[in-house]
Structure 1
Amino acid sequence: MKKCPECGNPSYDGAPICGNCGYTFPKPKNSVPKREDIFKKEEPKKVKPSSDESTLDILKEKKLIIGIILLITLILICGIFLTGGSYNTSSPMQNVDSAEYNEGSFSFKYPSDWQETNLTDEDHPGAIFFKTTNNTIVEYYNVSSSASSLKEINQNRISHAQSVGASVTLLETITLDGRNASNIILENADGNYTRYVSMFSDGELYVFRLSGESVNSITSDEINGMLNSADIA
């Protein structure tokens, strides 16, 4: 119930006028929610990147780095192949002022600054000798042999070397003139080194005997170039 402010007569709450004096009651104000409450937009939630997306990004970065490394490696390999290939296919004595030794069906080339010396080999009277620029002695000889293979020849050579106090540093099979050849390096009892490079064909044994103060002196590029020029006609 409400009372009329003019006459005090009680009236029900929804009455528009006072039933006693006719006073017009003011219209009640409706409570309206604030506009900002009605239209307030909810801020979008920030979505954190999932761990799968992060992992994918990392993998992509790693693949890019690996790809760059592989590309650089491939370029380096191609460069080595191009520069190395042209060198390996050239004649072993192509860039050296050389002379040639020829004895019947066998020949080889050697640097022209090697000096032919008058040394002798009692076991091989027909041997020839050269002295290289680093004082390595190069002996060449050929003999007829009744051996059945290079293996047998090498076994006999090693047995003799060990009997005089030498030890085997290297024993391997190499290829010269498209044929199998043996390469043996011995350390002598006096500390010097001897290298035997032998080719065996049709009962003929062709031998290079190299003597020097170190392994490097008997395996130098100019010596290996000379050996690679060996040819059996």
Structure 2
Amino acid sequence: MRAVFITMLLLVAVVFFADAQKSEGEITYERVFHWTRVYSRLSYLSQEEKDRLKLTWGNDDESKQEMLLVFNDKQSYYTYPKVETLSEGGYSWTNLEFKSFRDYENGKMTDVIAMLGKTYIIEDSLQTPNWKVMNKIKEVAGYMCMMAVTEDTVKGQKITAWFADNIPVSGGPQLYGGLPGMILELDVNDGDIVTTAKEVKFRPVTAEELAMPKKMKGKKIDTQKYNELMSTHIRDSIKAHRNPFWSIPY
């Protein structure tokens, strides 16, 4: 009887340890952007102009970018994995500032985003989208994921997320989270931009990896002011027949 009891305790410990291991690590995402799809949604373009774009570029409108999420069950940090350089033709550039910190334990968020010619620091309580979990599943990066949908009412975008409930962290890429598991794929407007996990690596994460810099340069605003800036810029750009998403995140 004692042997059976000890075996049961060991099994419980193994399961607990396995779950704990899945609560911290890093995820490498690939973000695929189709700019002709974005252009085709601009209301000021004629159908002829939209058709010409598709005919000219076809499937050669794809831009790819790697992103990295480091996380544990209390915090996460999402940004570029490194400074990207383009050597072909002698050109090079650095990415615009984009850092996203989440403090799940204290319900706080901090985003550092370069947009509209400035750098903004958005500080607020954690904002949870109004997700609707759907009765669909698919595999992403070796994990069975459930589908959830919401809407970005400021940008007029349909958002589809695929989350893994066996990675028990309510995080994800591109400022999104709030689901009962890690988001491993995020689809904006049925394929305009798709951010997909390519590698999930569980490992111990240090406090330094998740810590915000002590000094951050930028104008501090809250979520309401950020949304107002987005809404005004999109409205004014469309009115002036300019693509608003050249200077703000899509």
TM-score normalised per structure 1: 0.26
Q: Which has the larger radius of gyration?
A: 1
Greater helix fraction, Structure 1 or Structure 2: 1
